[in-house]
Amino acid sequence: MQHHVQEEESEIFPAISECMSDTELKDLGKEFQTTKAKLEAEVVAAMTT
């Protein structure tokens, strides 16, 4: 897991930052947060049934 996080922080995120505008990065972040919240809610619902 640690290797995965390190790879994202040192390689993937910098590459994405170079290819996308600030607006695109903000939109991507909002989309990520929306999807994360939806998936978390689905996991909680599945665990309570």
The 10s digit of each residue's pLDDT in 28-39 is 999 999 999 999
Sign of the alpha-carbon torsion through 25, 31, 35, 37: positive
- 49 pLDDT more than 90: no
Q: What global pTM score does this model have?
A: 0.67
Q: Could you report the per-residue pLDDT of 11-21, keeping only the tens digit for each?
A: 999 999 999 99
Calpha distance 22→3 (Å, rounded): 27
